[in-house]
Chains A and B, each alone.
Chain A
């Protein structure tokens, strides 16, 4: 029976020839990831169910990346990191990336890629809804709660309902004023933010394979914003090059079969697409930038797992170089590796970091930052009626802190162009 890439990976991990959408199956998990918000309660449940002194099922397969509430004075948040630290010590975990050490990484989804944990053909679960990001590497990845994570921690297994696959094909050449963020916001706007509920969202076509791995991660990252179970892109040479440069661990790539059945298929010609935003307060509240141009802003924010990667900052820096921002602009690298790149890569003889500083941006530490609000002292968090344009992935009421603030989601190019004008601006107006 012809199967999609998602079905084939799930079948292999259920040790079966094939699976059908809608079936409930138990599968083996290759990697479990958790962080400082959901790790401590997961550990509590793990101990309750498997015993105070139980060992995790496989310590090489558990990755703990504190990233959410790191640069804060909040005592409970600090206590939670201490819980992770103690657990990593007790279990002698090789893949714990502790805060305050040279091993600290930052946002989990980016760190999973950088550290070589995203391997084609694998199954990866994480206690974070944006775990679907990892699917850019041709693996099945999805977010779960603490209870499911605790079950995996003890057994290495979990039940899943096999999702139907929706296929989004992007043809043509991507114009320089568009980024992967424009493509995925368009998809979410088109199918609605429950249009992909419990579906696998597969991205395909020349324009997808033209994208770098970082840009592909922007596509899969926001599968959840359409309700998707997972986002996935078949692996290619770019995937293999990225993975092999970061791990010696082997992997077996999986590809969909010709003739596999898709629940839904939609084809886009990227050369005809427009820069877009998601207006407040839903990620599917789609508008062309041209429709909201001139909207007055109080703040711009560049960061997060979806918009805080090296290429996101390179794109923003190209717009900001030699310019000055007119609104408070917060820059939060996703990971310490991204920070390092901003401090070493140059543009017209200046480091990228300096380009942002000279433009008047406020520079933060690698973490989730204000993407999800967080403790009151979080860098960039909203506290009033701010109108924000942001490269992050969610704009529900209160998402960045204040229930009264309003968030527009857009690509790093659009956010940077808007920052220098203080109003929502089409990147075509500033790109030469």
Chain B
């Protein structure tokens, strides 16, 4: 897990489900073959209705045009982010687009597990409704160890919730290394 992460924010609303994160039609691509996996970056968050694409103004795609990478490192969301299907393609697509962190008020649990166990994005929780305070394009910097988030554009600082139990898995990189350390899987 990186100690410091700095980049632009992409703000979305409440209950963004996995079909909005990566529409089911795109799930046919291989997640390993490089020419195919890059499409997950292109179509990440492409299921958002236009008015919800990058709050507060909308109409700002997460990944612009024909690009494969997004300019945004942080996704700022309301409650129940990642509800719906168990598709691991969802946190994977966010990572493939270049996102490193999601900060939401709450998560649907399968998305949360997938983000952590696969080591795709770090899912921080916030008690403050950041989607009302942070705008798409704001520059943010985060210290992962302390959970201190700074909005460099507005100058405001926030303290995110502690990562808790999942910090151990995030430090391992993914669940396999965690399982090896727990003695559930033989060492390489």
- Residue positions of A touching B, CB distance < 8 A: 24, 26, 37-38, 40-41, 44, 49, 69, 74, 76-77, 80, 127-129, 131, 143-148, 151, 154-155, 157, 159, 161, 193-194, 197-198, 224, 227, 229, 282, 372-376, 394, 396-399, 401, 403
B174 CB–A CB distance under 8 Å: yes
Q: Which residue of the partner chain A has the closest CB to B169?
A: A159
B5 to chain A, nearest CB (A): 22
Interface stretch (choices B54-62, B108-116, B129-137): B108-116
User: In angstroms, how far is the closest chain A Cβ from the Cβ of B87?
Assistant: 7
Which residues of B (100-124) have their CB < 8 Å from a CB of A?
A: 106, 108-110, 113-114, 117-118
Q: How far is the CA of A9 from the CA of B80 in the complex (A)?
A: 28
B88 touches A41 (CB 8 A): yes
Q: Does B66 contact A (CB under 8 A)?
A: no
B176–A398 touching, CB < 8 Å: no
The verdict on A129 contacting B185 (CB below 8 Å), with A194-B79, A372-B24 known, is no
Inter-subunit contact B30/A40 (CB<8 Å): yes
**New A-B pairs, 19, CB < 8 Å, besides A129-B86, A159-B182:** A40-B30, A44-B32, A143-B110, A144-B86, A147-B174, A148-B117, A148-B175, A155-B179, A194-B15, A197-B80, A197-B108, A198-B109, A374-B24, A375-B28, A394-B17, A394-B19, A396-B20, A398-B23, A399-B19
A194–B165 CA distance with the chains assembled, in angstroms: 21
Task: Count how many pairs of residues, one from A and one from B, have CB atoms less than 8 Å apart in the complex.
Answer: 135
Interface residues of chain B: helix, strand, loop or mixed (majority): loop
Determine whether the beta carbon of B185 is less than 8 Å from that of A147.
no
Q: Is the CB of A282 within 8 A of B86?
A: no
Contact with A along B18-52 (1 / 0, CB 8 A): 01100111011111100010000000000111000
- Of A44, A77, A144, A159, chain B has the most CB atoms within 10 Å of the CB of A159
**Cβ contact within 8 Å between B117 and A147:** yes
Picked from A76, A131, A145, A198, the residue with its CB within 8 Å of the CB of B117 is: A145
**Can you list 15 residue pairs at the A/B interface with Cβ under 8 Å?**
A41-B89, A69-B28, A128-B86, A145-B117, A146-B88, A146-B118, A147-B174, A147-B175, A148-B113, A151-B117, A157-B184, A194-B79, A194-B80, A394-B17, A399-B19
Instruction: Answer whether residue B83 sits at the interface, using C-beta atoms and an 8 A cutoff.
Output: yes
Task: Report the separation of the CA atoms of residues A197 and B23 in the bound assembly, to the nearest whole angstrom.
Answer: 23
Complex Cα gap A145–B88 (Å): 5
B85 at the binding interface (Cβ < 8 Å):
yes
Inter-chain CA distance A366–B184, complex, in Å, is: 39
Q: In the complex, which residue of chain B has the Cβ closest to the Cβ of A143?
A: B86
Count, chain B residues at interface, CB 8 A: 42
Complex CA–CA separation, A396 to B14 (angstroms) = 12
Cα distance, A401 to B47, chains bound together (Å):
10
Q: How far is the CB of A44 from chain B (nearest CB, A)?
A: 5
> Would A227 and B108 count as touching, CB distance under 8 A?
yes
For the complex formed, measure the closest distance between the CB of A213 and the CB atoms of chain B, giving whole angstroms: 23
CB-based contact A38/B86 at 8 Å: yes
Nearest Cβ on chain A to B178's Cβ, whole angstroms: 8
A145 touches B114 (CB 8 A): yes
A372 to B182 Cα, complex, angstroms? 37
| Inter-chain contact A396/B87, CB cutoff 8 Å | no
Closest residue of chain B to A160 (Cβ to Cβ) is B113
Task: Name the one of A77, A127, A197, A396 contacting B28, with C-beta atoms under 8 angstroms.
Answer: A77
Please indicate the chain B residues that have their CB under 8 angstroms from the CB of A157 in the complex.
179, 184
Give the shortest distance, in Å, between A395 (CB) and chain B (any CB). 10
Q: Tell which of A24, A396, A403 touches B17, judged by Cβ atoms closer than 8 Å.
A: A396
Q: Map CB proximity to A onto B152-188 as digits: 1 under 8 Å, 0 otherwise.
A: 0000000000000100000000111001001011000
Alpha-carbon distance A197/B83, docked complex (angstroms)? 10
Contact A397 B86 (CB under 8 A): no
Bound-state Cα–Cα, A146 to B31, Å: 11
- A397 contacts B19, C-beta separation under 8 Å: yes
A159–B30 Cα distance when bound, in Å, is: 27
Q: Which of B49, B89, B185 contacts A403 (CB 8 A)?
A: B49
Cα A147 to Cα B177 with chains together (Å): 12
CA distance A220 to B108 in the complex (A): 17
Give Cα A397 to B21, complex, Å: 11
At the interface, yes or no: B84 with Cβ under 8 Å from chain A?
yes
Report which of B32, B83, B85, B110 forms a contact with A41, defined as CB distance below 8 A: B32
